[in-house]
């Protein structure tokens, strides 16, 4: 059985979970604060309503899975900058903005994985090949590249990939070896397996549902097993890490861990799994955001 952990990304200065409750969360992203739906916050808010009223924007859901719109209460720049201090002494600098899907271009809780990757890569002392699937705005790719990896970043969305490239420049990492690929994750890995390309580290943060650039359908429960199988074929003889994060509400960490355990059974290493959590400033409660499984050779 893998160890079970609550991982907290505690190095943030530009991000805070200010309060949560009544199905909502109040967060600070750099200079602005926002209220967003958080269906699992089944307790009462700790901060007074006046603090919530001070938010720069509120996301108003439309009832569909992630649809809705932002109700901006105060002036908010179209995009603004945030920083994350990596343990490798370099800072990630990146742009965020309010997007129609309620997200802002960063999932702050996955920063624990950036720290872990940066650490493993530095300790390895080699130049590992790292694959980042469903890479979004590129922050995991940049963390790996800053630590000395050669990175292949794959995402179905052209827009996300250009955002990621802007973040690369902003972070001063333009000279680092990152291949930016707009492609369906599953198709790409299948092709890499056929070509015999090998990776030493893989990180993936698949959404519950998604579409490749040609409309390829991604459904986490149906598609993850074959993706993990294909990734396994692309692993080098001595892989450093495999990190899988799943935000789908019904997924249990145990199930993700068992899938990764099966995938990595021929390798010697350790597996930990659990939940990515954020500690609230107001009442110190933990908000669980996703489940993960993390295999490591170190």
Ligand X SMILES: C[S@@+](CC[C@H](N)C(=O)[O-])C[C@H]1O[C@@H](n2cnc3c(N)ncnc32)[C@H](O)[C@@H]1O
Interatomic CA distance for residues 98 and 102, integer angstroms: 7
Does residue 218 bind ligand X (CB under 6 A)?
yes
Contact with ligand X (CB under 6 A) among 216, 229, 261, 272: 216
Tokens 């500690």 correspond to: 279
Instruction: Select 124 or 202, whichever has its Cβ closest to ligand X.
Output: 202
With binding defined as CB under 6 A, does residue 292 bind ligand X?
Answer: no
Total number of residues that touch ligand X (CB under 6 A): 19
Q: Which of 105, 108, 201, 212 binds ligand X (CB under 6 A)?
A: 212
Q: Are 72 and 55 in contact (CB under 8 A)?
A: no
184 is a contact residue toward ligand X (CB under 6 A): yes
> For 142-208, where are the E strands, in sequence order?
150-155, 178-182, 201-204
Supply φ then ψ for residue 274, to 5 degrees: 160, -145
Q: How far apart are CA 242 and CA 239, in angstroms?
A: 8
Which stretches within 184-250 are classed as H helix? Answer: 185-195, 220-233
* Interface with ligand X, residue 134, by CB under 6 A: yes
Among 29, 59, 70, 107, binds ligand X (CB under 6 A): 107
136 is an interface residue for ligand X by CB under 6 A: yes
The verdict on 94 binding ligand X (CB under 6 A) reads no
Does 8 bind ligand X (CB under 6 A)? Our answer is no
210 binds ligand X (CB under 6 A): yes
DSSP 90: P
Least separation, in Å, of the C-beta of 157 and ligand X?
Answer: 4
Q: Are strands 286-296 and 209-211 parallel, antiparallel or unpaired?
A: unpaired
The DSSP string of 97-118 is ---TTS--S--GGGHHHHHHHH
- Residue 126 backbone phi and psi in degrees, to 5: -105, -170
Main-chain dihedrals φ then ψ at residue 98, nearest 5 degrees:
-80, 130
Contact string 143-182 vs ligand X (x = CB under 6 A): -----------xxxx--x----------------------
Q: Which is nearer to ligand X, 162 or 282 (CB)?
A: 162
The residue among 61 and 172 lying less far from ligand X, judged by its C-beta, is 61
Residues binding ligand X (CB under 6 A): 107, 134, 136, 154-157, 160, 184-185, 205, 207-208, 210-212, 216, 218, 247
């Amino acid at each position: 059985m893998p160890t079970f952990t609550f991982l907290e990304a505690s190095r943030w200065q530009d991000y805070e979970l200010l309060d949560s409750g009544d199905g909502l969360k109040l967060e600070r992203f750099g200079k602005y604060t926002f209220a967003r739906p958080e269906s699992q916050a089944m307790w009462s808010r700790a901060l007074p309503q006046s603090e919530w009223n001070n938010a720069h924007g509120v996301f108003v859901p439309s009832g569909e899975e992630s649809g809705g719109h932002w109700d901006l209460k105060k002036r908010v720049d179209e995009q603004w900058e945030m920083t994350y201090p990596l343990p490798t002494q370099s800072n990630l600098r990146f742009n965020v903005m309010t997007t129609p899907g309620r997200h802002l271009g960063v999932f702050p809780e996955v920063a624990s994985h950036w720290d872990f990757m940066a650490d493993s890569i530095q300790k390895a002392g080699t130049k590992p090949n790292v694959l980042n699937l469903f890479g979004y705005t590129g922050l995991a790719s940049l963390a790996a590249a800053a630590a000395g990896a050669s990175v292949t970043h794959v995402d179905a969305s052209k827009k996300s990939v250009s955002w990621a490239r802007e973040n690369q420049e902003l972070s001063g990492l333009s000279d680092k070896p990152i291949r930016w690929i707009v492609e369906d994750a599953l198709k790409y890995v299948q092709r890499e397996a056929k070509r015999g390309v090998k990776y030493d580290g893989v990180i993936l943060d698949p959404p519950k549902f998604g579409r490749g650039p040609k409309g390829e359908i991604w459904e986490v429960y149906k598609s993850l097993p074959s993706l993990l199988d294909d990734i396994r074929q692309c692993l080098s003889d001595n892989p450093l890490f495999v990190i899988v994060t799943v935000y789908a509400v019904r997924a249990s960490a145990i199930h993700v861990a068992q899938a990764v355990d099966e995938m990595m059974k021929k390798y010697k290493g350790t597996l930990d799994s659990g939940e990515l959590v954020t500690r609230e400033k107001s009442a110190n409660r933990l908000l669980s955001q996703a489940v993960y499984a993390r295999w490591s050779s170190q």
